[in-house]
């Protein structure tokens, strides 16, 4: 049975809490910069480039791929993947399944709260290719999938798992800009938020059997 000493746990908690607080400050900084127009060149430039690419001969195929990625990383898609992960873990490592479930629930509530705090409207530079009903900042897709796929990578603990998680997180984040429903800075803030929450929750990640 894996255990950690009290001093190790306290050290990890301080580090995790520090990273989480730093992440929230970074999200606040991005929000203020965005609100004061300091990120307009970046946001308009990248989204404008996406809009021009959408109108090219291969744009329709890329749009379809981006819609699929966005659906996989959306609330329904992520819940389906979470259910599969929990079903796989429940009999093998119930404590790790509970950790994953609480991480996702807490992270989702955190993102909803931040959206209400900042109350940022959706971008209107491009026609939206996805139906959206919530505020824009920070991106829920980006934050939620950073948490979920990052947590899966932690549970598996292999380089391939971390690599696959990074690809999925990047693809889903990019899809939100391509579909015109998020500024790049929304996506960036979502990734930072998700990473901060992930590092905080990692403090309570149950050890694998046989680990000390």
Q: How far is CA 143 from the centre of its chain?
A: 2
Q: Of the listed 36, 128, 133, 182, which one is catalytic?
A: 182
Catalytic site residue 36?
A: no
Give the C-alpha separation, 87 to 110, whole Å: 25
Can 182 be counted among the known catalytic residues? yes
Q: How far apart (Å, rounded) are the C-alpha atoms in residues 97 and 39?
A: 39
Torsion angle defined by CA atoms of residues 80, 166, 123 and 134, in that order, rounded to the nearest 10 degrees: 30
Work out whether the CA dihedral 151, 16, 144, 26 comes out positive or negative: negative
SS3 28: helix
- Please report where in the chains the tokens 């399944």 appear, as a residue: 97
Catalytic residues: 141, 182
């Amino acid at each position: 049975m894996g255990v950690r000493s009290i001093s190790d746990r306290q050290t990890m908690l301080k580090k995790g809490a520090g990273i989480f607080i730093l992440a929230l400050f970074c999200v606040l900084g991005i929000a203020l910069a965005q609100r004061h127009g300091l990120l307009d060149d970046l946001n308009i430039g990248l989204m404008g480039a996406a809009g021009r690419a959408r109108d090219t001969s291969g744009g329709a195929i890329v749009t379809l791929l981006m819609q699929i990625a966005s659906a996989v990383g959306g609330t329904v898609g992520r819940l389906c993947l979470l259910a599969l992960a929990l079903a796989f873990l429940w009999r093998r490592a119930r404590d790790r399944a509970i950790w994953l479930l609480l991480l996702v629930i807490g992270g989702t509530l955190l993102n909803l709260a931040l959206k209400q705090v900042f109350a940022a409207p959706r971008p209107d530079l491009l026609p939206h290719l996805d139906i959206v009903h919530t505020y824009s900042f920070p991106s829920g897709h980006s934050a939620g999938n950073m948490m979920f796929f990052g947590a899966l990578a932690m549970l598996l603990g292999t380089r391939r798992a971390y690599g696959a998680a990074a690809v999925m997180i990047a693809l889903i984040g990019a899809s939100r800009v391509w579909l015109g429903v998020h500024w790049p800075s929304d996506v960036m803030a979502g990734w930072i938020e998700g990473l901060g929450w992930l590092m905080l929750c990692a403090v309570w990640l149950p050890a694998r059997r046989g680990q000390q």
